[in-house]
Structure 1
Amino acid sequence: MPRISVVIPAYNGVSRYLEQAIRSVLAQTVKDFELIVVDDASTDDTARLVLRFPSARYYKRPTNGGQAVARNDGARLAKGEFLAFLDQDDLWEPTFLEETSAVLNAHPETALVHCDGYQVNERNEILEYDAAMKHANSITQMLRGGHDMATSGSLFRKSCFDAVDGYDESLPVWEDIDLAIRLYQRFRIVHLPKPLYRHRLYGRNASRDIPSERALLGRRYFLEKHGPACRPGTPEARALARDWAQYYSDLGKALLQAGQTKEARRALWQAVRHDPTNHTVFLRLLRSFFQG
């Protein structure tokens, strides 16, 4: 039985660097692992690409379920004591599994070890160092103790992953943050301050500042799910108010772009109500009255 199970969720991976991700797994200095590629109902030749690697187990979902669903499917297939997920457009440094598994081996009470990484461009050129401890005044950080665990930069103890029921499949966004919060509430998490993975960034146009309806729905679900943990009068409650203000501000921005001016104003009023000190939102609200 392998010690480590590696899961790569894939969707149309032929043009999205899947082969590079697989090769970065096979190049690991530790060889006691299994590789599972979960094809999330791709419409390209992802199957043919994966089957070129005899050591990879290939599983194809009948319908597209999204990242959280594909990762959970891979976890159910996994046989290892430890569990790692690598996104198809990310890469591991050769010692990722060796160094992270050494931490879990040395600390049996630890549920998760996560490391720093690099942000790289589409040509795998380093853009910046990404430190994995962040202490922003947001519940997305505060409720997980600052552990900004990247999916591709983490190694789980599978029994702990299973104990919290894995990823929340209802979340289309922030499912990794939600998982980190639930693990942090019950187990020990360790940060390894070494850059052992690479996260690929893509060039995007200016419309990236307008969140999608799917992203907004996911954020609302996340805030409603974790809001009750933020007791009134605490720093977490103040952070929650700011996060709700940001949500309503982004909702208002999206509604303004869609020409739904009255609905946008209602959302922006909610943002001001949650955080009256946010002058940017107040100005956006005022500008909305000149947009029809």
Structure 2
Amino acid sequence: MAPARVTVVVVSRDRRADLARSLACHEGPVILVDNGSSDGTPEFVREWFPHVTVVEAGRNLGAPARNLGVRLATTPYVAFADDDSWWAPGALERAADLFDVHPRLALLAGRLLVGPAERVDPICAEMARSRIGREPDLPGPNVLGFLACGAVVRREPFLTVGGFDDVVFFFGEEERLALDLAAAGWGLAYVPGVVAHHHPSPSRDPAGRRALAARNAVLTAVLRRPWGVVAQVTAATALRGGRAGRRGLRDAVARLPRALAARRRLPPAVETARRTLDLGLT
């Protein structure tokens, strides 16, 4: 049997019931990073899924917990999954084949099918009609954003640009990573033939997630965008974000010192591409 080329990294916190369903669906080596669960998740996984490598972070590290899994992976490529998502049979083999023949490809965003009805996530349509075109050495349209539970990365460039960061922490964490990979000269592409399934967990807080989205849009702009864009994002959040937007702005203030310390402007070509995407959202 050929050695595995893709490791699946799953991050979870207090979602034992979701993992009972999703872990059985993964192919290849799997690393679970537990973000300080209090429901016995690590012990449960070790007992019922002994093939899964369990890493206990000991506390909630947010999205950067994935970085621990990527560092431990011994395969050249890593696929991310949430505790309520999994990759379709054969998807990761197809992804690995594409990485093998496209050496500049650092991130592959797959097609995400949501819920029992297998509805295509709306972000997939946005990626498919990418306003920033397609480069000849990539297997699909260029992207500067993605959903982590539907993404496969080349391990080395992911680690080189720092992976996910603890300024954004969680929710919307993908954009800064995408921008930094592009800034380093790597390619990111949407490939609908690589499919993942996502059955969102019922244990979610919609209002809290809206506030996180508002907070992290501002923080991501501070981290990488011109000050004029930061002002536009902040104003839009304040004017149109409602109660969740105001909460997000308040929460962003506490993280501003770290965002400013890590601030780095994008190369002009990447900023131009990002502005093109901004125009499509207005």
Aligned partners of 1:78, 1:61: CA distance in 2, in Å? 16
Looking at structure 2, the residues matched to 49 and 196 of structure 1 have their Cα atoms a distance apart, in angstroms, of 28
Q: CA deviation at 1:135?
A: 6.5
C-alpha distance 189-153 of structure 1, shift in aligned 2 (>3 A): same
Larger radius of gyration, structure 1 or 2? Answer: 1
* Deviation for aligned residue 1:202: 5.5
Q: How far is the alpha carbon of 1:145 from its aligned partner?
A: 5.2
Name the residue aligned to 1:140.
none
Per mean C-alpha deviation after superposition, the further-off stretch among 154-163 and 110-119 is 110-119
Question: TM-score when scaled to structure 2?
Answer: 0.71
Residue by residue, what CA displacement relative to the aligned partner does 1:235-286 show, whole Å, maximum 9, x if unpaired?
Answer: xx5xx665333222256534889xxxxxxxxxxxxxxxxxxxxxxxxxxxxx
**70, 73, 84: which one pairs with 2:68?**
73
Whole-angstrom CA distance in 2 between matches of 1:72 and 1:48: 22
Equivalents in 2 of 1:156, 1:81: separation in Å?
9
Task: Specify which of 47, 55, 76 is matched with residue 59 of structure 1.
Answer: 55
Specify which of 207, 225, 237 is matched with residue 227 of structure 1. Answer: 225
Does 2:12 match 1:20? no
Q: Which runs of 5+ in 1 are unaligned?
A: 138-143, 258-292
Question: How do 1:109-148 residues align onto structure 2 when only pairs under 5 Å count?
Answer: 109-120=104-115, 124-130=116-122, 131=124, 133=127, 146-148=143-145
For residues 98-155 of structure 1, the C-alpha deviation after alignment (integer angstroms, 9 at most, x for no partner) is 11111001112211222112121xxx33234542606799xxxxxx954442212211
Q: Which residue of 2 aligns with 1:151?
A: 148
User: Which structure exhibits the higher relative contact order, with contacts defined as CA atoms closer than 8 Å and separated by 6 or more residues?
Assistant: 2
2:216 aligned to which of 208, 215, 218: 218
Contact 2:86 / 2:197 at 8 angstroms: preserved in 1? yes
| Cα deviation, residue 211, structure 1 | 3.5
Give the secondary-structure state (helix, strand or coil) at the position aligned to 1:38.
strand
5+ long unaligned stretches in structure 2: 132-140, 248-282
RMSD: 3.2
TM-score (norm 1): 0.69
- Report if the CA contact (8 A) 1:21-1:86 is conserved: no
Q: What is the aligned-residue identity percentage?
A: 24
For 2:272, the equivalent position in structure 1 comes to none
Q: Summarize the Cα distance change of 1:41–1:187 in structure 2 as closer, same or farther, 3 Å threshold.
A: same
Aligned residues between the structures: 232
Provide the rounded CA distance (Å) in 2 between the counterparts of 1:191 and 1:206: 29
